[in-house]
């Protein structure tokens, strides 16, 4: 049996585009000589469709698309994911399903049993779990067909009380196929390989796994579809962050060593870089926009975002706005202009001194006798927010937010100022990682000026200001934040590792108090195991971390 894995970039609710893409890949797989072509979980609708699933018309359009796809499944079978109605009144109204289509008709329906409801997943909100398990028979082989999470209940701390494969293995299948929508984070590829290899070893069956690729707002899918032999050896690894269609011979997977080349493992920073490029590109393409605007300060965060945006969209489609205040240093302006020169994007210089002075004058009476403090600093940041939003409104640019994860975590940012934007590019990238990203971007030539990388970070909202005036050094801050956010450690656990007690409690309190700000930030491109937003839901008024 020859099996084609089609790793595609879908668009949620774009049935015309998704259907055309699936049909085109059915034809391509047929031309390669495939017996069956496999598409991803919820390929027809796109993943995650979220509350689109509450509309009957949405489900009807999924079914209509599936029937159109079936017409092209002559002389080839296909497996494709979609939501379907649950005919039983009791329980949820839908199943997360896969159609096995052959001879122009849907021969069998397989439903997902294990429905993740953690981090960015919310499937039990919509779907009923499957309880009936049958293999798919095709060309003399029995296929144990499962959907994504159905193979993830194999570790030492299982989330579910049963495993679909424990039921399917009783029917003596010849191979496993798993269709998935497995989101990217910089450590997930290795976790994914281990989980799937463990399944192949446990059930002593070859395993064909197809993931999707592309970004859906904040969630990024990296592809990396996989093939394992019956001993759990990785036989093939498809492209990352790109669409891909590859053909595999079941007999060769089982019996021939080193037949298919595996992808080269790359660093976390390279993965983050490629994920952010894809995230920006798809956010714009799928939203119907082409041009971006951002504030360019001369600092490292905006420099990295500008470089990423230019790579994703083309430098000609990026407008960098320099907005110096009376506290901006000459070298910051020069660093920003050097970046513009290196990268070739558009730019404008719009000083904010007059606007900030006007607000100071307006507020002179109520502020009379009070010292300069955060209020005046934030006025400057909000003046900049007004400028870039005006550019967005006037020219149709989409504003990119340039706040990093360290700042988001501790609330070191101004609501309606530097925290505004349509999409947050590096809001899931710690400051120390931003420096590493800058060095990676510069690996072949200097794009980000060296001075931007080596100078002490500063918001430049008061004389001689540095981030370290308000925050611990980022090397220490990011370690504590990582322990707390990604590893979910409390203060006592972190302090026991040797961190200063007062510092840990101060940082965790800042994280807790900044929750109200994070509720109002733009969607953040997710690249870590625990990103702010959909995957981390904390109460604003909670006192646990105070």
Annotated catalytic sites, by residue? 41, 112, 148
Rg, C-alpha atoms of the chain: 26
Q: What is the dihedral of CA 8, 12, 18, 21, to 10 degrees?
A: -30
CA dihedral over 296, 301, 307, 313, signed as positive or negative = negative
Alpha helices in 152-267 (DSSP H): 164-168, 188-203, 250-255
Annotation-wise, does 485 bind a ligand?
A: no
Annotation-wise, does 517 bind a ligand?
A: yes
Annotation-wise, does 279 bind a ligand?
A: no
Q: Report whether 241 contacts 274 (CB < 8 A).
A: yes
What are the backbone dihedrals phi and psi of residue 543, each rounded to the nearest 5 degrees, phi first? -115, 0
* 3-class secondary structure, 248: strand
CA dihedral over 148, 154, 158, 162, signed as positive or negative = positive
Annotation-wise, does 406 bind a ligand?
A: no
Annotation-wise, does 56 bind a ligand?
A: no
- Per-residue HEC secondary structure of 293-312 comes to EEECCCCHHHHHHHHHHHHH
Annotation-wise, does 298 bind a ligand?
A: yes
Annotation-wise, does 296 bind a ligand?
A: yes
Annotation-wise, does 47 bind a ligand?
A: no
Q: Which residues of 72-99 are buried (b: 16+ CB within 10 A; e: fewer)?
A: bbeebbbbbbbbbebeeeeebbbbbbbb
Annotation-wise, does 535 bind a ligand?
A: no
Annotation-wise, does 299 bind a ligand?
A: yes
**Tokens linked to 469:** 């005036």
* 3-class secondary structure, 9: strand
- C-alpha 293/C-alpha 296 separation (Å) is 9
* 3-class secondary structure, 189: helix
**DSSP letters spanning 493-539:** HHHTTT--HHHHHHHHHHHHHTHHHHTTSPPB---SSS-SBTTB---
Annotation-wise, does 288 bind a ligand?
A: no
Annotation-wise, does 498 bind a ligand?
A: no
* Binding-site entries for deamido-NAD(+): 378, 407, 517
* Binding-site entries for ATP: 295-302, 402
* Binding-site entries for L-glutamine: 118, 182
* Binding-site entries: 118, 182, 295-302, 378, 402, 407, 517
């Amino acid at each position: 049996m020859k099996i084609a894995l089609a790793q595609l970039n879908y668009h949620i609710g774009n049935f015309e585009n998704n259907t055309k893409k699936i049909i085109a890949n059915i034809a391509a797989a047929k031309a390669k000589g495939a017996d069956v072509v496999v598409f991803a979980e919820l390929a027809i609708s796109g993943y995650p469709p979220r509350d689109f699933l509450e509309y009957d018309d949405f489900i009807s359009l999924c079914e209509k698309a599936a029937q159109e796809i079936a017409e092209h499944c002559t002389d080839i079978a296909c497996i494709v994911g979609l939501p379907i109605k649950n005919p039983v009144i009791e329980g949820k109204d839908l199943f997360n399903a896969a159609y096995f289509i052959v001879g122009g008709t849907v021969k069998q329906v397989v439903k997902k049993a294990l429905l993740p409801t953690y981090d960015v997943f919310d499937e039990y909100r919509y779907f009923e779990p499957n309880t009936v398990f049958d293999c798919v028979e095709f060309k003399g082989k029995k296929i144990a067909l499962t959907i994504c999470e159905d193979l993830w209940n194999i570790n030492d701390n299982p989330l579910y009380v049963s495993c679909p494969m424990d039921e399917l293995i009783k029917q003596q299948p010849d191979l496993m196929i798993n269709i998935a929508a497995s989101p990217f984070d910089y450590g997930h590829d290795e976790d994914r390989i281990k989980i799937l290899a463990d399944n192949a070893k446990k059930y002593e069956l070859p395993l064909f796994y197809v993931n999707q690729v592309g970004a859906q707002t904040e969630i990024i899918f990296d592809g990396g579809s996989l093939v394992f032999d019956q001993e759990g050896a990785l036989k093939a690894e498809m492209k990352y962050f790109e669409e891909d269609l590859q053909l595999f011979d079941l007999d060769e997977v089982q019996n021939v060593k080193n037949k298919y080349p595996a992808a080269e493992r790359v660093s976390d920073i390279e993965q983050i870089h490629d994920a952010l490029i894809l995230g920006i590109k798809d956010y714009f393409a799928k939203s119907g926009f082409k041009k971006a605007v951002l504030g360019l300060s001369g600092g490292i965060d905006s420099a990295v975002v500008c470089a990423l945006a230019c790579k994703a969209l083309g430098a000609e489609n990026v407008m960098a706005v320099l907005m110096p205040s009376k506290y901006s240093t000459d070298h910051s302006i020069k660093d920003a202009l050097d970046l513009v020169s290196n990268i070739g994007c558009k730019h404008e210089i719009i000083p904010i001194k007059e606007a900030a002075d006007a607000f100071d004058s307006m507020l002179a009476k109520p502020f009379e006798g009070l010292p300069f403090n955060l209020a005046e600093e934030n006025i400057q940041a909000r003046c900049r927010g007004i400028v870039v939003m005006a550019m967005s409104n006037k020219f149709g640019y989409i504003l990119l937010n340039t706040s990093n994860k360290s700042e988001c975590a501790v609330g070191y940012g101004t609501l309606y100022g530097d925290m505004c934007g349509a999409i947050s590019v590096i809001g899931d990238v710690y400051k120390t990682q931003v420096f590493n990203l800058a060095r990676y971007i510069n690996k072949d030539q200097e794009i980000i000026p060296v001075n931007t990388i080596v100078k002490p970070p500063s918001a430049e909202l008061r004389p001689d200001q540095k981030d370290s005036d308000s925050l611990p050094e980022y090397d220490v801050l990011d370690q504590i934040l990582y322990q707390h956010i990604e590893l979910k450690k409390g203060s006592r656990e972190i302090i026991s590792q040797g961190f200063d007690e007062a510092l840990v409690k101060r940082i965790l309190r800042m994280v807790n108090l900044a929750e109200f700000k994070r509720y109002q930030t733009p969607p953040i491109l997710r690249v870590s195991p625990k990103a702010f937003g959909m995957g981390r839901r904390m109460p604003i008024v909670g006192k646990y971390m105070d």
